[in-house]
Chains A and B, each alone.
Chain A
Amino acid sequence: MARFKKRIATSQEIPTSAMPDIIFILLFFFMVATTVREEKEDLVDFSKPEATQIHELNKSLTRFHIYIGPPKDSDKYGSAPRIQMNGALVSPSQIPQIINTNIENLKQGSKSKSKIHIVLTVDENAKEGIVTDVEEQLKLVRTRNIVYSATQYTTGQ
């Protein structure tokens, strides 16, 4: 039997030369797949209701978000549902002004009110009264396209 001399010439280190490439791939993924955080942290809690006739809002459409639900900081704001818009708790009567300012800030050409959608994310346990108050204000500024945020109906009947 012939004996071969074992050579331990191979490097013991893990090659790290490909690491920058891997990290860059991850980096590019996050750059492409994510958007810059716009809305401040949600001040209200909500669980979306379920519905079957779900419509997905086209990405190119201008939309404003309104959140309605019990405040997270219930010590400070109480537990009754409140309205959050532009990262602050507002009263219904402030909504027309906020919407008008938001429209002012929009790029020229996308100011057509018929194309603006209001995404109403309402906690499923909130009462309709507050939703109606918001809707009445939306009618005043003639932004009448609304989407009641909902998730696809899953549980069986």
Chain B
Amino acid sequence: MFGKEKTRKDNPEVNSSSMADIAFLMLVFFLVATQIPVIDQGVKFLLPKKLEDNKPPVDVDPRNLFKVMVNSGNKLLVEDERLEFDQLKEKAKIFINNRGRDPEQSDSPKKAVISLRVDRGTTHKYAIRALDELKAAYHELQAEYLNMSLEEFLLLDESDPLDSKLIRKAKDAIPMRLSKAEPTR
């Protein structure tokens, strides 16, 4: 018939009033026992291999070696010259991308080696800053090589076959030869 018409007195439904309580209980459990996963992000770096003496290999022409040092006072010394941190990137770019023009700078990006040496007393913040600036120099040159902006280059996804091909192309042309020397004692 039409309208509400309840004639049966005993309700045939399963009693679900405690469902909310059960769900609450589970909810509280998950609130307490889990955490939102943090995405690990940071500056990637490949440590050099363990060597008996960690001096730069003798076969590197001093011309192709770009020495960056950070002392315990967090001051920067680049190629025996005092520099500020925001000058480091440009200096490194000039060195890497010299392509044999200036006899003081590198022969080619493939031969250029950057050696970063930090002191044991250097604050981590400044060590990362130096590493970051040097990586930025490489990334900017690699992006330039691919005719991209730096932002576009950094967004390339290594797991994507097309993108990884581009990355490999840039890395072949301008390999990141960045080495962390053992710190001064």
Contact = CB atoms under 8 A, between A and B. Distances in A.
B9 interface: no
Interface in A12-41: 16, 19-20, 23-24, 26-27, 30-31, 33-37
Contacts of B34: 30, 34-37
Interface stretch (B58-66, B91-99, B116-124): B116-124
Interface residues of A, number: 56
B39 A124 contact: no
Interface string B119-131: 1111111011101
Interface string B19-38: 11001101100110111110
Given A30-B34, A144-B47, A55 B41 contact: yes
Interface residues of B, number: 49
Which of A58, A144, A148, A153 has the most CB atoms of chain B within a 10 A radius of its CB?
A148
A130 to B, nearest CB: 8
Interface of B: 16, 19-20, 23-24, 26-27, 30-31, 33-37, 39-50, 86, 118-125, 127-129, 131-132, 135-136, 139, 154, 158-159, 180, 182-183
Interface of A: 16, 19-20, 23-24, 26-27, 30-31, 33-37, 48-49, 51-59, 63, 117, 119-120, 122-129, 131-132, 135-136, 138-140, 142, 144-153, 157
